[in-house]
Amino acid sequence: MERGRKRTRSAADVRAAGRVRPLDRRFYARDTAVVARELLGAVLVSTVGGQRTAGRIVETEAYIGPHDPASHAAERIGRTQRNTSMFAVAGTAYVYRIYGVHWCLNTVTADVDFPAAVLVRALEPLHGIEIMRLRRWPDGAYGPDRQLTNGPGKLAAALAITGALDGHDLRKSPLRILPGERVADARVRTGPRIGITRATDWPLRFCVTDCPWVSR
């Protein structure tokens, strides 16, 4: 019932978004915290494997430059094979494996050779929800829908995002980000980033308040 209503609205949402151009380089080539904030409400669309899945971005984190000690490209680490995409042009995907288990998607921001990116931490599922369920729980033991995409590893699994997409241009299929309805400031909460051990008080996490899809 409620599930059916949501799916109908979501399909219309995505069809409408289909006429919209993806976010362009100028969007990403700005201050990383601003990009992280402005990505809230945007729509991440995957057609990986020929199956369309999409969700609205409701939680992000910014990782900003060599002086951000929590960044994979912090000064003490420098440029390495893994973080190479963080130095690429704005609008590039940086996808890495965490804990040997999960994939995480970032959008590269700011200027070439300045390593900065926005981690996409949670989505509100909009399209292809049954496909997401199958990818998240391939043994058929489905969990609740609110756990489909309420975390960076979970949304990557639901949208079939893997390391094969590291370095991908996010203006193009099979993984694109389209502009969405702007989330009002009153609905945006800013706070410390999650799961890090350095710079734990930097307020670079942005999420939509009262959203069941936010990780916490």
**Between residues 89 and 196, which has the closer beta carbon with respect to DNA?**
196
Amino acid type, 213: W
**Between residues 11 and 97, which has the closer beta carbon with respect to DNA?**
97
Burial of 133 (0-12, 13-18, 19+ CB in 10 A): middle
CB of 140 to DNA, least distance (A): 12
Q: How far apart are CA 133 and CA 140, in angstroms?
A: 8
**In this structure, what are the phi and psi dihedrals at residue 184, rounded to the nearest 5 degrees?**
-65, 150
Is 215 in contact with 208 (CB distance < 8 Å)? Answer: no
Buried/exposed code over 86-98 (b: 16+ C-beta within 10 A; e: otherwise): bbbebbbbbbbee
Strand partners, 191: 205
**Between residues 146 and 182, which has the closer beta carbon with respect to DNA?**
146
**Between residues 6 and 102, which has the closer beta carbon with respect to DNA?**
102
CB of 136 to DNA, least distance (A): 6
**Between residues 139 and 185, which has the closer beta carbon with respect to DNA?**
139
Using DSSP, state whether 135 is helix, strand or coil.
helix
CB of 68 to DNA, least distance (A): 8
CB of 83 to DNA, least distance (A): 6
Is 154 in contact with 53 (CB distance < 8 Å)? Answer: no
Is 120 in contact with 106 (CB distance < 8 Å)? Answer: yes
Using DSSP, state whether 186 is helix, strand or coil.
helix
Residues found near DNA in the complex (CB under 7 A): 61, 63, 70-73, 77-78, 80-83, 86, 94, 97-102, 104, 106, 117, 119, 121, 136, 141, 143, 147, 151-155, 193-197, 215
